[in-house]
Amino acid sequence: MNGSFVAMIMTNWNGVFPTGTPVKTTWTGIWPIDFVLGLLVVFFGAVNNIADLPDIGPFLMLVDLVFTLVVFNIMTLVEDRRNRKTGPLRYPAVWQFLWNWCGAASVLPIYSHLYLTKRGTSAPNVPTEQQQALIFTSIWSILISLPIVLPSALGAVPVGVQFGVVVWFFAPLTLGPFQDLCSLLVSNTGYSGSDNPIKVAYGIVGGFSAIVHISVALAPYLCGPETTWSRIYWPNHSAAQPDHRSFMTEGAMLFMQYDHIVIYLCVLALGAYILGFSHVADGKPQGRKTMGGYPLLTLVAITAIAGPGSALAWLLSREEETVEDAKVAVE
């Protein structure tokens, strides 16, 4: 973005932010890995180290984005557990690494397309013990997202903030094992849990995402005049000035804002297809899935009020009902 990425590379190489804050450049002792991690630390350090920010807007944008992606993280886990043998929707940690590193704008459209074309209502059910475990894993997915934002919010020193970024980046590696551990415990204890555990899991991450999004959207009314709704959500290319000390912050801000816009488009596109176009294409009666009816309007309303993460959780919960209905109809 306007040369800001080159500035991030040079900052990582020199080991110091333009503000004078040092960059931790040694993590593993293996230079290629350390350089990649350092670049990650520089990118997120440009927006999550509150002490160096010109205003709170970049940090709020990061918080909203991170907890929107939590819903997608659970989505990848559900689809992986639905079919762990074949198909491109497996390996949730890989997908999460991709959008955490490459950006949601470049990866989520690919995953969304694969979800629509490779899944279908004939997909197998998630095993019962895995379904019940998803409730606990949804909470875990929220907790492992906190390290990228919580240290700075609590006033940690820069190295603590940077350490949180690295912990967050590797946290997806824990999601699958945690899910399998909970699944094993469910199986061994005979825990029956909820009647609709997948919907509960989506409700947990979707509800948390909604709380975060609404809180961020209301922040301009509580923060100073420099923090506006457009400052948080709307890209402003003119703000990224190469000679300014906030150059990298504004570049990273643009990157996140476009990520957020693409997430909105992906959720609405998924909804438009799932709630109507798929039935039109199949020549089936639309029933409760109708483009001109309430479901799509509900999705748009949830997206506008509670954000795309909450809207996606609602859409996926509804889709689980459709899958169950299809199974019952076949039986």
Report pLDDT digits (tens) over 37-47.
Answer: 999 999 999 99
**Rounded distance between C-alpha atoms, residue 93 and residue 77, angstroms:** 8
The whole-number pLDDT of residue 115 equals 94
Question: What is the tens place of the pLDDT at every residue in 306-321?
Answer: 999 999 999 999 988 7
pLDDT for residue 237 is more than 80:
yes
Percent of residues, the chain, with pLDDT higher than 90? 74
Percent of residues, the chain, with pLDDT higher than 70? 90
What is the secondary structure of 156-199 as a DSSP string?
--HHHHHHHHHHHHHTHHHHHHHHHHHHHHHHHHT----SSHHH
Domain map of the chain by residue range?
A: 4-271
Which DSSP symbol is given to 242? T
Query: If pLDDT is split at 50, 70 and 90, which confidence band does 121 have?
Result: low
Query: If pLDDT is split at 50, 70 and 90, which confidence band does 269 have?
Result: very high
Question: If you average pLDDT over residues 68-95, what whole number do you get?
Answer: 94
Q: Which two tokens stand for residue 223?
A: 């923060």
Cβ within 8 Å of residue 283, ≥6 positions away = none
| C-alpha triplet 107, 315, 144: angle, nearest 5° | 55
pLDDT for residue 211 is more than 50:
yes
The whole-number pLDDT of residue 3 equals 83
The whole-number pLDDT of residue 139 equals 98
The whole-number pLDDT of residue 280 equals 46
Q: Which two tokens stand for residue 276?
A: 């109507």
The whole-number pLDDT of residue 326 equals 54
**The whole model's pTM is what?**
0.91
pLDDT for residue 154 is more than 60:
yes
The whole-number pLDDT of residue 290 equals 45
Lowest mean pLDDT among 19-28, 232-241, 278-287, 316-325: 278-287
